[in-house]
């Protein structure tokens, strides 16, 4: 299976399904959609965010589309955040799948397709 297909499935499974004009990643970075006009409040928020980004660039990130979250271990991570947690989780699940499956076998936490569906 192609990596892009796996990434699409990963996002579908772990996505919260909610989108917004702004939000905060679990890592503390604040995100803003600067590519769309949501409403007048968003316009004012965006202007403040641009100023804040000049003062603390490590804590602000802009996107050209809506801010989208992944829910992993009850923490919300913004997709494409500079912390790259979404990529780290994806890579871990794919690169360590043998270890993850071995862990479930060793702990007797049986997982079947029926349990997940």
For 35-49, the pLDDT digits (tens) are 887 777 777 788 889
Average pLDDT over residues 68-96: 94
Q: How confident is the model at residue 54 (pLDDT cuts 50, 70, 90)?
A: very high
pLDDT at residue 109 is higher than 70: no
Residue 83 inside a domain? The answer is: yes
- N-term to C-term CA, the chain: 21
pLDDT at residue 115 is higher than 70: no
Residue 3 inside a domain? The answer is: no
Domain assignment of residue 63, given as a range = 15-116
Q: HSE of 104 in the Cβ direction (CA atoms, 13 Å)? A: 9
Distance separating alpha carbons of residues 65 and 27, to the nearest angstrom: 20
Distances (CA, A) of 100 to 42, 71, 95, 106, 109: 42, 19, 10, 10, 11
Average pLDDT over residues 60-88: 95
Q: How confident is the model at residue 113 (pLDDT cuts 50, 70, 90)?
A: low
- In terms of pLDDT, which residue wins out, 1 or 5? 5
- In terms of pLDDT, which residue wins out, 113 or 24? 24
Domain count, the chain: 1
Residue 32 inside a domain? The answer is: yes
- Compute, in degrees rounded to 10, the torsion defined by CA atoms 71, 15, 24, 54: 130
Residue 2 inside a domain? The answer is: no
Backbone angles phi, psi at 27, to 5 degrees: -75, -10
Q: How confident is the model at residue 74 (pLDDT cuts 50, 70, 90)?
A: very high
Average pLDDT over residues 41-69: 90
Q: For the CA atoms of the chain, what is the radius of gyration?
A: 17
Residue 77 inside a domain? The answer is: yes
Q: Are 70 and 15 in contact (CB under 8 A)?
A: yes
Model pTM score: 0.79
């Amino acid at each position: 299976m192609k990596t892009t297909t796996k990434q699409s499935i990963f996002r579908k499974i772990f996505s919260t399904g909610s989108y917004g004009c702004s939000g905060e990643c679990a890592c503390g970075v604040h995100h803003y959609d600067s590519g769309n006009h949501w409403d007048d409040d968003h316009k004012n928020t965006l202007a403040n965010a641009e100023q804040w980004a000049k003062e603390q660039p490590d804590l602000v990130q802009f996107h050209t589309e809506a801010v989208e979250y992944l829910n992993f271990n009850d923490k919300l991570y913004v997709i494409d955040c500079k912390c790259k947690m979404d990529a780290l989780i994806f890579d871990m699940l794919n690169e360590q799948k043998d270890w993850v499956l071995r862990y479930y076998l060793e702990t007797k936490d049986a997982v079947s397709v029926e349990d997940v569906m």
